[in-house]
Amino acid sequence: MPLDIRIRFGRAIRRIREEQEINQEEAAERCGLHRTYYSGIERGVRNVSLLNIERIAKGLKTPLSELFGRL
């Protein structure tokens, strides 16, 4: 059974964040999200809205297609 989309998305943005060598707090700030909310996204426990997905892409300076291409 494939992993839940929330877990796969969280892992994808974690990899991008780690490649950029920033911590969750910095990533959350760049995305305009609260640190604990951002952490929940990376852990796959948050069901992220399309608006917040766009904020994450902009904050991590990563095209939406790359975010989803890493799933």
Domain extent, residue 59, equals: 5-69
User: 22-50 burial, b if ≥16 CB within 10 A, otherwise e?
Assistant: eeeeebbebbebeeeebbbbbebebebee
- CATH no. for residue 37? 1.10.260.40
Give the count of alpha carbons within 13 A of 26, CB side only.
9
Q: Number of folded domains in the chain?
A: 1
For residues 70, 32, 37 and 15, what is the CA-based torsion angle, rounded to 10 degrees?
30
**pLDDT tens digits along 7-66:** 999 999 999 999 999 999 999 999 999 999 999 999 999 999 999 999 999 999 999 999
Where do the H-state alpha helices sit in 1-71? 5-19, 24-31, 35-43, 50-59, 64-69
